Amino acid sequence: MNAHAEPSSAADGSRPTTPDPTTPDPTNPALSIDDITVGYGGVPAVRGLSASVRAGEILALLGPNGAGKTTTLLAAIGALGLMSGTVSALGDPIDRRIERNARRGVTLVPDTRGVFHRLSVSDNLRLAKRRNGTDLDTVYQYFPKLKTMRGRRCGNLSGGEQQMLALAKALLASPKVLLIDELSLGLSPVAVQDLLPRLRSIADEHQMAVVLVEQHIDLALGIADSAIVLHHGRVALSAPARELRNHRDKVEAAYFGRTVEDLAS
């Protein structure tokens, strides 16, 4: 047998293709969180949380400050060890080493935005570029303003412009699962209204699974497919976003820890 023999061809003469193991299967969740309890120093901050997001879907993670939203994101990228339950991304358990999960396509945009303030916009984007990642021209199509500010120092940008840059950097890595913590933190409502529809387009066009932690409830529900409201680390409400858009009273009640059962009583 020839050790260097070519792979056999298909009947039509084409070469067989090997599926990319990191490509999300649209029939299965790209991110699956199953009954997790996680916290700090042995004290749970999130208890019994289950959620899933498929490719091209956006899950809005809502709730008051201290509800466990950021803790959930940190658990999803492997930054916090689980007390119980499991987290899987792209069909495999999440790794405790964050860099491995990032290479697989699990990316977090933190509430600090993760940009280098002393570098220019162009340098920030150059450092974020990955081999076989999204090209800059595509990124500029979503964020054309960045192209006009390439030479500007990041520290001189407005909050909305810095968040735009943070999303652009994440997009350059071609993530399969994108987790965004407090996208609107410190931004004006106008800036948030500008950014969120772009995020919806990115999720649709790149078939990216997105988990969005957001305080602007109506704006988040306007682009999300599903939503979870956390209260003191527990799920107070979980439903399709379109349902919650029509029942804002349920969302407001959940923020105060009242469940669907409480509302019915």
pLDDT category of residue 3 using cuts at 50, 70 and 90: very low
Give the Cα separation of 93 and 128 in Å (integer): 25
On the question of pLDDT at 15 being above 90, the answer is no
On the question of pLDDT at 17 being above 50, the answer is no
Give the Cα separation of 161 and 230 in Å (integer): 29
| 144-186 confidence digits (pLDDT tens) | 999 999 999 999 999 889 999 999 999 999 999 999 998 888 7
Tokens of 12: 């039509």
**Residue 262 confidence (pLDDT):** 58
| 24-47 confidence digits (pLDDT tens) | 566 789 999 999 999 999 999 999
Encode 170-183: b = buried (16+ Cβ within 10 Å), e = exposed.
bbbbbbbbbbbbbb
Please report the DSSP string for 232-257 in residue order.
TTEEEEEEEHHHHHT-HHHHHHHHTT
**Residue 14 confidence (pLDDT):** 44
Give the Cα separation of 193 and 102 in Å (integer): 28
Q: Which domains does the chain have, with CATH numbers?
A: 31-113+174-259 (3.40.50.300)
On the question of pLDDT at 110 being above 50, the answer is yes
Encode 8-23: b = buried (16+ Cβ within 10 Å), e = exposed.
eeeeeeeeeeeeeeee
Give this prediction's pTM: 0.84
For the chain, percent of residues with pLDDT exceeding 70: 87
Give the Cα separation of 226 and 52 in Å (integer): 10
Provide the 3-class DSSP secondary structure of residue 181: coil
**Residue 251 confidence (pLDDT):** 94
Give the Cα separation of 165 and 139 in Å (integer): 10
**Residue 8 confidence (pLDDT):** 42
Please report the DSSP string for 70-109 in residue order.
HHHHHHHTTSS-EEEEEEEETTEEPPSSHHHHHHHTEEEE
Mean pLDDT of the chain: 87
Residue type, 73: L
Tokens of 5: 């023999």
